[in-house]
Amino acid sequence: MENYNTKEVEEKLKKFWETDKIYKFNSGSKKPVYSVDTPPPYVSGEMHMGHAFSYSQQDFIIRFQRMFKGNVFYPFGTDDNGLPTERYVEKINKIKSKSMSRSAFIDLCLKTLKEMTPTFVQGYKDLGISADYSAYYSTIDKNSQKISQKSFIDLFNKGEIYKKEFPTLWCPECQTTIAQAELEDKELPSLFSTIKFKCDGKDLLIATTRPELLGACVAIFVHPTDKKHKTIIGKKAKVPIFDFEVPIIADNSADPDKGTGAMMVCSYGDKYDVDAINRHKLNPRVIFEKSGRINSGKYKGLSVKEARKKILEDLKNENLIKEQKEISHAVNVHDKCGTEIEFILTEQWFIKILDKKDIWISQGKKINWHPEAMYKRYENWVNGLEWDWSISRERHFGVPIPVWFCEKCKEIILPKENELPVDPLQIKKKCPKCKQEVIPEEKVLDTWATSSLTPQIASSLTKGVGIPFSLRPQAHDIIRTWAFYTIVKSYLHEKKLPWGNIMVSGYVTVGGVGMSKSKGTGISPKKVLEEYGADALRYWAAGSKLGSDLDYQEKDLVTGKKFVNKLWNASKFVFMNLKDYKMEKPKKLEKVDELFLMNLDKLIKSVTYRFETYDYSKARADVDDFFWRIFCDNYLEIVKKRIYNEKGDKKISAQYALYNSLLSIVKLIAPIMPFVTEEIYQTYFKGNEKIKSIHVSDWPKFKYQKESSEDSFDVLLDLISKIRQEKTKAQKPMNCEINLTLEKKDHDKVKELLNDLKDVTNAKEIKTGKFKVEIF
Ligand SMILES: [Zn+2]
Ligand SMILES: [Zn+2]
């Protein structure tokens, strides 16, 4: 092939890798297993740039490990149940799940998934992600459901799961409970209104941003040392408009400096209210129903926002507002839909996590975090936990909670293991105690309850792999969910760590800001692959340190593509010079070849260390510099003449060095640029090397154990560069003849390399004296 044709090569090699099962895990191998707890991406139309970025980065490390150690288990899964999938299916089918029966909606989800999953997964193959796609799972497939339900039953039997009626975080838009980890802060404008309550016939002023909760007020709190309110503690206050009375209670949590110092406690405005009501055993007065609308009285049917507006109007008309000011404050919204969350009293299932914070911290500390600073995010999250893990969801498309209840004797009935996976709605059961028909649980498990078991699900696909896995790659925004919950589950089930290492990637930005489809800055990896090819995209993704964000800039793709072409053309050139090379080793290496190979050794050493420490961006930079500057610009030029003009050992020495250095360079960059390196390997090296793919060949070893203490090679390169500058200055071609005068100290340093210097600079003679380049 004359010019490197990205598209043609990539299509051909993808087929080759798949049919020859290059990345297939060999459970029978004696080599130690390197296992990866691959992130299963949410299935959607096509891969987005953030995924192209982070999956490339994990693939760099995994490809390196495959060449370095040998036996890699790199399965591929898709996450395709729970809210994100439901919302996606609702959107593309223009329907609402709540207006369909559960079974009809599940059928629609499965049908939609079946249609779109193959194209979606193809995106990862196109990017060159070296997963074993035959070790595939979906988090909603039968096997995953079974493992997830088994986990529920195990934890229930261990007393780690309980069911409780509890004011839980509720999303009125998605109509389901959500977990603390799904909250996001959003800065929103609000009105801070000082409202007139009555106590002893006098005004009692209370400031609030949530007047719609007046009807849910159950108490007024004041601080015990608050002089202004001392005399009213123990009395009752009348709630404006609603005209019922609530107790005035002294509580340390009231801040005398906030608002008027008196605060209303409602069921439920926030987490604080939930605690306060529990602490004082107050009777909740719940006014919002699950739809987010008021359930009774004059404001019945109004949504939170409507009620807020109407009540403020009514207060104003009755002159019950003392003052109002506009503020901006952070409110909790649901991360999936941006809706302000509410607290609603519902019956939910929880996994106990609050009682084991110290265990989560010590388990987290035992894992190697890359970069190390990411551990802090984990620790902060654990320390800030305020709720047990709520795992039930009022949704359709998820793993069913495998439970039935007996209304009469309150018995909870679980299925046997051989019944799994089970949908309780599909199976009638009788209570073993009272023989009454039992009621199936309608809720499904939160998707994290299943994806927290990816190590267990993945290891069920093969023999010879179990926890702890070698590596968990993931993004930093799901440390608090995916990483945390996986650590929790592995501990609760097996008292083990899920993995030894976790690598955490950053985000893609455009002009320093997060990519977003709505802002029009979403860039499709598919388009980039079309234009620049996978190697160029991956080259770009290797451009920032692990964990750091990386700006998307087209010029980096151009640089990547240039590197691909240069690698291809340099290889072509090298093998033109190796036509008569019979793989012999010279009896003695020429000095310059030996020095060059020592430099190559240094490169191998450093790149190996970089990959071992997850520092692929420096690995790329090292190879980049060596390849362009030392290999192409200098070494190729130095040996060219010798290969043309010499015979015997002098020539063989150069050919030996060329063959081995190019093979090493190509291998060192193969984890980052798998396509062009494979193509070069297949075209030029495979005949001699025999191994069927570069990606399962051995990682280069350092041959020259001794470090070169001589800097003569560097001096040589330095001189060459200076002489070229002189030629450029004189506007002469690089091959013009010269007479060269070197400083004595430089001359001494390169005295064994003078012939090479002559060859490469076309110098007729070299003298000593003041540095001078005489150009003819
Ligand atoms: Zn929502
Ligand atoms: Zn019963």
Note the ligand closest to the C-alpha atom of 407: 2
Strand partners of residue 145? none
The bound ligand whose nearest atom lies closest to the alpha carbon of 409 is 2
Listing DSSP states for 525-576 in one string gives: HHHHHHHH-HHHHHHHHTTS-TTS-EE--HHHHHHHHHHHHHHHHHHHHHHH
Rounded Cα distance between 291 and 273, Å, is 20
Distance from C-alpha of 606 to C-alpha of 589, rounded to nearest angstrom? 24
Q: How far is the CA of 89 from the centre of ligand 1 (A)?
A: 15
Residue whose pair of structure tokens reads 């439920």 in the numeric block: 268
Pairing, β 738-742 against β 772-775: antiparallel
d(CA 623, CA 651): 26
Distance CA 56, CA 61 (A): 9
Identify the pLDDT of residue 132.
Answer: 98
**752: exposed, middle or buried (C-beta count within 10 Å: 0-12, 13-18, 19+)?**
middle
Closest CA relative to residue 763, chosen from 707, 728, 719? 719
Distance 145 CA to ligand 2 centre (A): 27
Percent of the chain at pLDDT > 90 equals 76
Q: Which two tokens stand for residue 647?
A: 């015979």
Q: Compute the distance between CA of residue 216 and CA of residue 279 in angstroms, rounded to an integer.
A: 17
In three-state secondary structure terms, 442 is coil
What's the half-sphere exposure (Cβ side, CA atoms, 13 Å) at 563? 32
pLDDT band at 98 (very low <50, low <70, confident <90, very high): confident
Which two three-digit tokens encode residue 4?
């490197």
Q: What is the pLDDT of residue 706?
A: 61
407: CA distance to ligand 2 center in Å?
7
Quote the ligand 2 centre to 147 CA distance (angstroms): 28
Does the structure show a pLDDT above 90 at 622? yes
Question: Ligand 1 center to residue 336 CA distance, Å?
Answer: 5
Q: Is 96 exposed, middle or buried (0-12, 13-18, 19+ CB in 10 A)?
A: exposed
Which uninterrupted H or E stretch holds 500?
Answer: strand 499-505
81 and 447 in contact (C-beta within 8 Å)?
yes
Tell how far the Cα of 335 is from the centroid of ligand 2, in angstroms.
Answer: 40
Ligand 2 mean position, distance from CA 412 (Å): 9
- Mean pLDDT value across residues 697-703: 90
Q: What confidence tier does 334 reach under pLDDT thresholds 50, 70, 90?
A: very high
Spatial CA neighbour of 26 closest among 18, 14, 34:
34
Q: How confident is the model at residue 521 (pLDDT cuts 50, 70, 90)?
A: low
Q: Write the pLDDT tens digit of every residue in 654-677.
A: 999 999 999 999 999 999 999 999
Q: What is the mean pLDDT of residues 676-687?
A: 97
Give the tokens for residue 349. 């299932």
Question: How large is the average pLDDT for residues 138-142?
Answer: 95
Q: Which amino acid is at 711?
A: D
What is the C-alpha separation between 342 and 186, in angstroms, rounded?
14
Residue 160: band (very low, low, confident or very high) from pLDDT cuts 50, 70, 90: very high
Q: 102 alpha carbon to ligand 1 midpoint, in Å?
A: 19
Q: What percent of the chain has pLDDT over 70?
A: 98
Q: What are the distances in angstroms from CA 3 to CA 127, 335, 528, 564, 565? A: 21, 48, 20, 11, 8
For residue 611, give Cα distances in angstroms to 58, 623, 627.
11, 12, 18
- 368 pLDDT band, cuts 50/70/90, is very high
Rounded distance, CA 58 to CA 35, Å?
12
pLDDT tens digit sequence for 565-608: 999 999 999 999 999 999 999 999 999 999 999 999 999 999 99
Q: Give pLDDT, residue 511.
A: 82
Other CB atoms within 10 A of residue 701 CB: 10
Ligand positioned closest to the Cα atom of 335: 1
Amino acid making up residue 128? G
- Two structure tokens written together for 99: 């207006």
Give helix then strand counts, H and E, for the chain: 24, 29
- Tens digit of each residue's pLDDT (9 = 90 or more) over 259-283: 899 999 999 888 888 888 888 889 8
CA of 40 to the centre of ligand 1 (A): 22
Question: Given this model, what pLDDT does residue 231 score?
Answer: 92
Amino acid at 719: L
Is the pLDDT at 376 greater than 80? The verdict is yes
Looking at residue 270, its pLDDT comes to: 84
Angstrom CA distances, 398 to 137, 370, 392, 395, 669, stand at 15, 32, 10, 7, 42
Q: What is the pLDDT of residue 43?
A: 87
CA 771, CA 389: separation in Å to the nearest integer? 75
Tell me the residue type at 52: A
DSSP 8-state secondary structure symbol assigned to residue 585: P
Distance from the CA of 97 to the center of ligand 1, in angstroms? 14
pLDDT at 63 over 80: yes
Give residue 442 CA to ligand 2 midpoint distance, Å.
Answer: 18
- The whole-number pLDDT of residue 379 equals 97
Ligand nearest to the CA of 434: 2
pLDDT score, position 707:
60
CA of 429 to the centre of ligand 2 (A): 11
Ramachandran sector of residue 29 (left: φ over 0; alpha: ψ -120 to 50; beta: rest): beta
Average pLDDT of the chain to the nearest whole number: 93
How many whole angstroms from 182 Cα to the centroid of ligand 1? 9
Instruction: State the average pLDDT over residues 502-530.
Output: 83
* Residue 402 alpha carbon to ligand 2 centre in Å: 17
- Cis ω for the linkage preceding 268 (within 30 of 0): yes
Task: Check pLDDT > 90 for residue 444.
Answer: yes
Q: Cβ atoms within 10 A of the Cβ of 602, count?
A: 15
Kindly report, residue by residue over 457-508, the tens digit of the pLDDT: 999 999 999 999 999 999 999 999 999 999 999 999 999 999 999 999 999 9
Q: What's the average model confidence in pLDDT over 40-59? A: 92
Give the Å distance between the CA of 157 and the centre of ligand 2. Answer: 19
- The Cα 217–Cα 205 span in angstroms is 14
* Mean pLDDT across 9-16: 98
Residue 249 is predicted with a pLDDT of 95
Closest ligand to Cα 438: 2
Q: How far is the CA of 392 from the centre of ligand 1 (A)?
A: 15
pLDDT for res 513 = 80
Would the pLDDT of 520 be above 60? no
Separation between Cα atoms, residue 158 and residue 150, nearest integer Å: 12
Residue 344 clears pLDDT 90, i.e. is over it: no
